[in-house]
Chain A
Amino acid sequence: MQTAFTPDQLARPEIAEADGILKTCVHYGFCTGTCPTYVLFRDENDSPRGRIDLIKAMLEKGGAPDPKTVHHLDRCLSCLSCMTTCAVKVDYVHLIDIARSHIEKNFRRPLPDRMLRLLLAQTLPYPARFLAALRLARLAQHFARLMPGRLRGLIGMAKARPAKPEILSPQVHFAQGERLMRVAILAGCAQQALDRSINAATIRILQRHGCDVIVAEGAGCCGALPLHMGFEAQAKTLASANVDAWSRLLNGGLDAVVVNASGCGTTLKDYGHLLGSENAKRIGALTRDITEILMQLGLRAGREMKPYRVAYHDACSLQHGQKLIAPPRQLLKRVGFTVLDVPEKHFCCGSAGTYNLLQPEIANALGQRKAAHVESTDPDIVAAGNLGCMVQIGRFGATPVVHTVELLDWATGGPVPAALQGRALREPPAAASAPEGAAISVTPDQTPPDSAGIW
């Protein structure tokens, strides 16, 4: 695609970067088939290539974007499904972040919009503030009907998943037995306020597999939430704090920064791009999703698990952002679960960071669609690698939703995941205990023995 930036514009690094990205898009259009909003609306401006054109026009013109452009760019989930599909690998994620930052700097949103965004940006990344907000929201649920729509959604979410907070203190959780690795854990922000069990399971399983697990002083939100809302400066401040905190550990030997929220993991791995410093690049290169590090460590099964049917949901940030598709499945299968692929697994569940709060109607449509697909697999348990997806699927489905690491922790000696406690799971049929399960095609060899034909 040709662009028409002036030399002055191109002197600005973000425009130079956008220019390079825009030129790679050649409008093949494969992206349209996997873009959730295009599939829902068939509006060209709600497709990746349509948005790319809108971004081009917006940046070339400079200054305040028109409301129509903002409307369509706001509706992008940043799910990155388009990047998986794109034949020429347009770097859409960085382009949309540049566009969002431009909008925040140059567009005056209506007051309620501004207030909500500010509220989210100043609350979600800070666990103590978010926890206080959740408590307020729970109190406010009695008045929910009197509140504006999107705030009502926030209260609904607070109600949907009762918070079980634990804000981790800086400390070292020492390895059990011989120490094999020294790792830092991203304790996260919203996750600490919402669900303590994910971090707890992560620390336990890492300790059990020979890791010293460090909760570093000064580390906090990864910056993804403000970044994807266009608050670039705030995102960089948060990211820098993390880089500083973990860089201080490098001298003592740091094997990895472990992340159990895949949206955060995608951002951490991209710190080199966001911040540009050598330390940021080092931290980005050290970042591992919890399933990656467990593959590296070699998962040691602790107890014999029944082959419960686990519908595995691919969080977009894992499958599209980090290209981690096989490891979670391999680990779950290794400990004995029957792992089920969810139809239309390339599609976003609608959670997408703050998207379900900012675009509740689209998010609800996608959430219902995802939950229906999940339930169609007849699962006993739903597993995902990102809390946002867990909350979203849990809102629309009946099956208990847990984090992948909670299941792995359970299978290797940890407690029953909180969401499963007190729930009677179906007794799996004996035949289902075949090693490769019933419905997986991660690799073509993993086919069931009960084919419809004779071989």
Chain B
Amino acid sequence: MSNNLEAFFSDIGKMLGADGVNRSEATIRRYGENTMACDDVLPAGVVYPASTADVQAIVRAANTYHVPLYPVSTGHNIGLGSRAAARSGQVVVDLGYRMNRILEIDEKLAFAVVEPGVSYQALHDELVRRGNKLMLDVTSGPPQGGMIGNALDKGAGYTPYFDHFGFSCGLEIVLGNGEVLRTGDGALNSETLANWHTSKYSFGPILDGLFAQSNYGIVTRMGVWLLPRPPMVRSFHFTFPDDDDLEAVIDLCRPMKMSNFVPTLFRVANDLYLCGSEGESPEYAASKGKTSISDEGRRALRERHGLGAWNVSGAFYGPSSAALEPMIQRVRDHFGQSGKATYIDHADAGAIPPLQVAINAFSGVPSLGELGLLKWRPGGGNLWFLPGTPMDGKIANEFQRICRGIYEEHGMDYMVMNVCGPRFARGLHVMTFNREDADERGRADACYRRMSEEVASRGVYVGRAPIQYHDFHMAQAMPVYRDACNSVKVALDPNGVIAPGRYGIG
């Protein structure tokens, strides 16, 4: 392999220039870093393509020399792998350095076309520069996160265009054999493509989905739909005092989403998910991370920040504050039925930083606030566990009790936000832990695996997953699904050069 690697890098250096390859010790070490409950995963080197043609050349050379690649966009997939490869020794294809152009913005049809290095912040800034008539859906994660990377990992935001893969339209992909594929209406064999980024489903099978959470190709271009920016965004927030209020909360949210009366998703966050972004655990030093934060500690945090055990946020869009007032009143009446909800209005919420994060997210404004969660415990460990629940209060509350119990058994602090649609809520479970402490790291790993098995035994699969668990989760799939995924791999990437092991494929 080492001879192959030398020849590979030599060829790539000739094609991309000396600046197109980086094999310095510092680079290899840094690209291997991650926040997961495993060791760093050192790549063999990093290459920096500047165009789709460069990516093709890299993939072809990888086929020639049997060198495994690992593409990343901006590399901010923190908690899910950062920019570490699926397996050590792979060559990271860093698309974010030079392929970071906004290729097109169509203001009439409200879509943008971007390369992998375009971040949420970059497109947001460009839309603002053009008059702020359009907004993009953003995550509440890092503003420098890449739009293509997030969409392909089935990431999501909170506005009506929350489903980032669902609101992408038209991909350009370099397949494992080096050929370029256009999806959607871009499949037409023509130089003129009127509907590549406006229509997803015309002739033939829908291939786009093959490239989400997989390793069948390297996406080099993506269309993304944009929402006309509403003149007014008005958020509403409710706090609930008790952990088991989740049952009522979910049942209150469901009908409002089922009819789409509330256009945003509901953010239903527990106390630690919100308070955790505002400071470090007050009990970590004393407990040395061996036990979960106490109920008294949680209560004190809630009081300090004016929040509840559960905190519900949503927003309306409209022409003016006055026009939205009746909707706000309707929501207040609805949540008021519970007898336990405390209302926080838009203006007051703006003074509570974790709720301002929600307002920013509903408004399509990238922000940093939620990243504060990652300093809850020292030592830089962070995993995201992302199962989901049907929007049925009883079931959601049962999952809450189970996962909270498993967190506590492992001495972790239960942090979760349920992002609620009409029928399904994705549970964003955060695990922060001291990665430098072997015992705590081991408990985080055991906690993650135990929760995965526990929810799977109740019929729940995870969504995105930390890369260290891709094989583990793929093993939870039915055998025919696994075989089908591997068959597609063989068809599109016969030599298995693109990210072998990613999502447990290849």
| Chain B residues positioned under 8 Å from A443 (CB to CB) | 350
Alpha-carbon gap, A443 to B230, bound state (A): 13
Known contacts A30-B144, A448-B133; A439 and B233 CB within 8 A of each other? no
Chain B residues with CB under 8 A of A26: 35, 378-380, 435
Query: At the interface with chain A, which of B75-83, B294-302, B414-422?
Result: B75-83
B87 within 8 A of A: no
Known: A34-B144, A453-B227. A439 touches B82 (CB 8 A): no
A85, A445, A448 pick with most chain B CB within 10 angstroms: A445
Question: Is A386 interfacial (CB-CB < 8 Å)?
Answer: no
Q: Which residue of B has the minimal Cβ distance to A46? A: B26
Q: Which of A365-389 contact B (CB under 8 A)?
A: 376-377
Q: Is B164 an interface residue (CB 8 A)?
A: no
Within 8 A of A (CB), among B216-247: 227-233
Q: CB distance B230 to A441 under 8 Å?
A: no
In this complex, how many residues of chain A approach chain B with their Cβ under 8 Å: the count is 47
CA distance A96 to B76 in the complex (A): 24
**Is B496 part of the binding interface, using a Cβ–Cβ cutoff of 8 Å?**
no
Are A451 and B125 interface neighbours, CB within 8 A? Answer: no
B129 pairs with A87, CB closer than 8 A: no
Given contacts A28-B78, A453-B230, contact A87 B128 (CB under 8 A): no
Is A341 an interface residue when CB atoms closer than 8 A count as contact? Answer: yes
User: Which one of A1, A45, A87 has the highest number of Cβ atoms from chain B below 10 Å of its Cβ?
Assistant: A87
Complex Cα distance, B380 from A317, in Å, reads 28
B110 at the interface (CB under 8 A from A): yes
**Any A CB within 8 A of the CB of B64:** no
Which of B97, B132, B233, B372 counts the most A-chain CB atoms under 10 A from its CB? B132
Q: Are B82 and A441 in contact (CB under 8 A)?
A: no
Interface pair B30/A49, CB less than 8 Å apart: yes
Please, how many angstroms separate the alpha-carbon atoms of A44 and B43 in the complex? 15
Within 8 A of A (CB), among B12-68: 22, 24, 26-27, 29-30, 33, 35, 48
- Nearest-neighbour CB distance to chain B for A31, whole angstroms, equals 10
**Residue A162 CB within 8 A of the other chain:** no
Segment with Cβ contacts to A, from B196-204, B363-371, B461-469, B485-493:
B363-371
A451: contacting residue among B126, B229, B374, CB under 8 A: B229
B131 in the interface, Cβ–Cβ < 8 Å? Answer: yes
Contacts of A454 in B (CB 8 A): 228
Q: Taking the nearest CB of chain A, how far is it from the CB of B114, in angstroms?
A: 14
Task: Write the chain A residue with the least CB distance to B374.
Answer: A87
Which residues of the partner chain A approach B436 to less than 8 Å between Cβ atoms?
1-2
- Rounded to whole Å, the gap between the CB of B438 and the closest CB of chain A is 13
Give the residue name and chain of the B residue nearest to A455 (CB): B319
Q: How far is the CB of B167 from chain A (nearest CB, A)?
A: 15
A33:B94 contact, CB within 8 angstroms: no
Nearest residue (CB) in A for B123 is: A343
| Cα–Cα, bound, A86→B163 (Å) | 27
Least CB distance, B22 to chain A, in whole angstroms: 7
Residues in A with CB closer than 8 Å to B371 are 30, 87
A439 to B131, Cβ gap below 8 A?
yes
CB distance from A81 to the nearest CB of B (A): 11
Q: Contact at A33–B132, with CB atoms within 8 Å? A: no
Verify if A113 is at the interface (C-beta below 8 Å from B): no
User: Min CB distance, B173 to chain A, in Å?
Assistant: 24
- Chain B neighbourhood of A84, CB < 8 A: 368
Distance A295 CA – B56 CA, assembled complex (angstroms): 56
A94 contacts the other chain (Cβ, under 8 Å)? no
The yes or no answer to B107 lying at the interface (CB within 8 A) is yes
What distance in Å separates the Cβ of A376 from its nearest Cβ neighbour in chain B? Answer: 6
A376 close to B129 (CB less than 8 A): yes
Q: Are A30 and B30 in contact (CB under 8 A)?
A: no
B317 at the interface (CB under 8 A from A): yes
Please count how many residues in chain B sit with their CB below 8 Å of the partner chain's CB atoms. Answer: 64
Is B250 engaged at the interface, CB distance under 8 Å to the other chain?
A: no
B132 and A85 contacting across the interface, CB-CB below 8 Å: no
* Residues in chain B near residue A43, CB distance under 8 A: 24, 26-27
CA distance A450 to B319 in the complex (A): 10
Bound together, the chains give a CA A443 to CA B24 distance in angstroms of 43
Asked if A29 contacts B232 (CB within 8 A), the reply is no
Nearest-neighbour CB distance to chain B for A298, whole angstroms, equals 20
- Contact, CB under 8 Å: B30 / A42: no
Q: Are B232 and A447 interface neighbours, CB within 8 A?
A: yes
Return A439 CB to nearest CB of chain B, in Å.
5
Asked whether B119 is an interface residue with its Cβ less than 8 Å from the other chain, the reply is yes
CB-defined contacts of A340 to chain B, threshold 8 Å? 129
A451 touches B30 (CB 8 A): no
Residues of A within 8 A of B373 (CB): 87
Could you say which of B75, B365, B375 contacts A87, with CB atoms under 8 Å apart? B375
CB–CB A448/B132 < 8 A: yes
Q: Is B134 an interface residue (CB 8 A)?
A: yes
Known: A26-B435, A88-B374, A449-B231. A341 touches B129 (CB 8 A): yes
A residues near B78, Cβ cutoff 8 Å: 28-30, 87
**Measured CA separation A295–B359 after assembly (Å):** 24
Does the CB pair A455–B35 fall under 8 Å?
A: no
> What B residues does A29 contact at CB under 8 A?
30, 33, 75-76, 78, 82-83
Is the Cβ of B144 less than 8 Å from the Cβ of A44? Answer: no
| Nearest CB on A from B381, distance (A) | 8
Write out, one digit per residue, whether chain A residues 7-38 have a CB within 8 A of any chain B CB (1) or not (0): 00000000000000000101111101110000
- Provide the bound-state CA to CA distance between A448 and B131, in Å: 8
Q: Are A444 and B132 neighbours in the complex by a CB distance under 8 Å?
A: no
Residue of chain B at shortest CB distance from A453: B228
Contacts A28-B35, A30-B144, A30-B371; is A451 near B228 (CB within 8 Å)? yes
Q: Are B232 and A445 in contact (CB under 8 A)?
A: yes
**B74 CB within 8 Å of chain A:** yes
Alpha-carbon separation in the docked complex, A438 to B129 (Å): 9
Least Cβ distance of B220 to chain A in Å? 19
Pair A42/B110 contact, Cβ less than 8 Å: no
Per-residue 0/1 for B170-210: is the Cβ within 8 Å of any A Cβ (1 yes, 0 no)? 00000000000000000000000000000000000000000
Residue from B132, B232, B362 in contact with A441 in the complex, judged by beta carbons closer than 8 Å: B132
Is B318 interfacial (CB-CB < 8 Å)? Answer: yes
Assess whether B30 is in contact with A344, with CB atoms less than 8 Å apart: no
Partner of B125, one of A34, A341, A438, A444: A341
Report A42-59 residues with CB < 8 Å from chain B CB: 42-45, 47, 49-50
Interface residues of A in 413-455 (CB under 8 A from B): 438-441, 443-445, 447-455
Q: List 6 A-B contacts (CB under 8 A).
A: A26-B435, A30-B142, A30-B144, A444-B360, A452-B228, A455-B232
Given contacts A30-B142, A45-B26, A340-B129, 18 further A-B contacts (CB under 8 A): A27-B33, A28-B82, A85-B142, A85-B144, A88-B375, A341-B125, A341-B128, A343-B126, A441-B128, A441-B132, A441-B365, A447-B132, A447-B229, A451-B231, A452-B110, A452-B134, A455-B230, A455-B318
B residues whose Cβ falls under 8 Å from a Cβ of A: 22, 24, 26-27, 29-30, 33, 35, 48, 74-76, 78, 82-83, 94, 97, 107, 110, 119, 121-122, 124-126, 128-134, 142, 144, 227-233, 317-319, 323, 350, 359-360, 362-365, 368, 371-375, 378-380, 382, 435-436
Q: What 9 A-B pairs have minimum CB-CB distances, sorted nearest first?
A: A26-B380, A453-B228, A444-B363, A33-B144, A343-B125, A452-B228, A87-B371, A88-B375, A44-B26
